[in-house]
Structure 1
Amino acid sequence: MNNRNDKVANITIPQEAFDWYDEYAHGDIDRRTFMKRLATLGIAGLTLSTISGVLMPDYALAEQVSFNDPDIKASYVEFAAPEGHGKGRGYLVVPAGVSAEKPAPAVLVAHENRGLNPYIEDVARRLAKVGFVAFAPDALYPLGGYPGNDDDGRAMQKTLVRNKIEGDFAGAARMLTAHELTTDKLGVVGFCFGGYLTNQLAAMLPESVDAAVPYYGTPPQSPVADIKAVMQLHFAGLDTRVNGYWPEYEAALKAAKTDYTAYIYPNVNHGFHNDSTARYDEKSAELAWSRTLEFFKQYLS
């Protein structure tokens, strides 16, 4: 059971701190600026290290499915990425009982702007636990892979060209659909930058992506009119940065007659599904995830 809520139960973090963390997490301000801003809050009884410690990821809290759970089998797999960096690597999680004779639908998991961290690996395991073959590529593989902490991962990912990352994930999608353990159905789910990638892959690979679920993701760079996938979009009510793109994106989806459903969860922050930080909102996260799983079961079966 996740205990993030227990850790923050007696700590009230002002909204400004969450907003600043969002800026920091997306590279708009550096760590020093973030910490200096936190220091100005002067929250009674709380030290700067306590506040920052609650806001920063604690991946020990995020594991919902163990890597050695008997219902799944996890491994790291390389794949060809001719449109990206030539070769990629990711985390493949297969449900027990799946075989070439008994394949399962596949879901590609797209990470945030800091590489394949433990939270995203756990999301892949959660999907496999309920019957999907899940694959989570690491955009940082050309640089040696996720470095073990988000600060370095964020800095590394910032050095990569976006369309090369997109090419790597396109290669991963093609590998997954051709895999002997998967059916011909492919879903994509992603968070933050991975939400953008989810939108982008739906537009880039209309013949491959059957169902797409972006969490607080910005619109694709490729034409929205190319999307053929069924879409389910999740937004955080307090996420003014991403939500500012939604009216125009929704208009484009409507114009293209895309089959979509959008959910906005009130009074929660960007990253509310990520149970390793104080942005996590258990009620909204569980509701959004239950909707995600039902959506994939409906459209990938």
Structure 2
Amino acid sequence: MKELKKEDISQEVFDLYDDYAHNKMDRKEFLQKLSLYAVGAITLPALLSFISPNYLDSISVKSNDPRLKSEFITYDSPKGGKKIKGLFSILKDTTKKLPGIIVVHENRGLNPYIEDVGRRTALEGFVTLAPDALSPLGGYPGNDDDGRAMQKKRDRNEMLEDFIAAYNYLKTHKDCNGKVGVVGFCFGGWISNMMAVKIPDLAAAVPYYGRQPSQENVVKIKAPLLLQYAGLDKRVNAGWSDFEIALKENNIEHEAHFYANVNHGFHNNTTPRFDKEAAELSWERTITFFNKHLKG
């Protein structure tokens, strides 16, 4: 069987997967449409396997990395007395309080990719907390399809409150110096934008391909923003023009980067939407930004 490569796949397949991943169609419709691209040596199972996340071979910082103390904790969230589970990570050899970063998952719960991002960020000298918004429903179920279905059952504004509670938990943690930022991806990008709206003393926010807040909410933002967008992401990028105008009109510190010819999810190294060059450059910018605003 031919080994599939990214260049073998048409852009329409990535767009189709994006629609499916963002609940624009159910799995049956997705597979029916995907089958149209299974031609010649490319079978439907091979195509489906290729575009699905591969967590087993993609983790860059293992859960037992000897440089880190990385463990699951729980914290209280205000809606209904919920307990939220999150992955807490910090350098083992640190002797001082560190700035904190909340790491916010996509629309499928705290999967291995986001856990990995939490650990990567901790290795840069931050104390990190990566919450699982699926905690009230039992937590991330072990696969993204079920995770998406579960997350659809939760109200997004209640989940926002869960992440704000994570900020409050980390800000007052004994290992944190009180400066806390947020980085989030997709749904987590929207959460990052909204945390900037809702938290006056948020130190910095880095939304990756996240939906923008309404114009009336932009005026409330105090935190500096680093906005990361995928050049091919028409769905999210459609909101940029109005957002940019509002940011400038309200003199909100921000910088935006559009990475040409890459798809929504380009930072996620577990799927073929991953773009190594854009992911590495955007992450370098992210860490530099956090160093400036949380350590400077």
User: Shared fold by TM > 0.5?
Assistant: yes
Q: Which amino acid aligns with 1:220?
A: P
CA contact (8 A) 1:218 1:242 kept: yes
Equivalent position of 1:4 in the other structure: none
- 1:166 matched to 2:160? The reply is yes
Determine which of 103, 114, 125 is the counterpart of 1:120: 114
Equivalent position of 1:186 in the other structure: 180
Deviation for aligned residue 1:11: 5.3
Equivalent position of 2:207 in the other structure: 214
Unaligned ranges ≥5, structure 1: 1-6
What does 1:120-269 correspond to in 2, within 5 Å? 120-207=114-201, 209-220=202-213, 223-269=217-263
Deviation for aligned residue 1:83: 4.4
- Name the CA shift for 1:128/1:92 in 2 (closer, same or farther; >3 Å): same
Q: How many residues align?
A: 292
- Name the CA shift for 1:194/1:85 in 2 (closer, same or farther; >3 Å): farther
Determine which of 270, 284, 292 is the counterpart of 2:286: 292
Deviation for aligned residue 1:187: 1.0
CA contact (8 A) 2:89 2:128 kept: yes
- Name the CA shift for 1:49/1:85 in 2 (closer, same or farther; >3 Å): farther
CA contact (8 A) 2:38 2:47 kept: no
CA contact (8 A) 1:87 1:168 kept: no
Task: Say which is worse superposed, 85-94 or 187-196, in terms of deviation.
Answer: 85-94
CA contact (8 A) 2:82 2:136 kept: no
- Name the CA shift for 1:36/1:204 in 2 (closer, same or farther; >3 Å): same
TM-score, scaled relative to structure 2: 0.95
RMSD: 1.4
Unaligned ranges ≥5, structure 2: none
- 1:26 matched to 2:22? The reply is yes
Query: Structure 2: how far apart are the matches of 1:15 and 1:260?
Result: 31
Deviation for aligned residue 1:220: 2.4
Query: Structure 1: how far apart are the matches of 2:6 and 2:125?
Result: 37
Runs (4+) of structure 1 exceeding 4 A deviation are: none
What does 1:5-16 correspond to in 2, within 5 Å? 8-9=4-5, 12-16=8-12
1:147-171 CA-to-partner distances (Å, cap 9, x unmatched) read 0000110000000011110111110
Residue identity (%): 47
SS in 2 for 1:179: coil
Deviation for aligned residue 1:42: 3.8
TM-score, scaled relative to structure 1: 0.94
Equivalent position of 1:280 in the other structure: 274
SS in 2 for 1:223: helix
Determine which of 51, 56, 60 is the counterpart of 1:60: 56
- Name the CA shift for 1:85/1:269 in 2 (closer, same or farther; >3 Å): farther
- 1:49 matched to 2:42? The reply is no
Determine which of 91, 99, 115 is the counterpart of 1:105: 99
Higher RCO (CA < 8 A, seq sep 6+): 1
Equivalent position of 2:73 in the other structure: 77
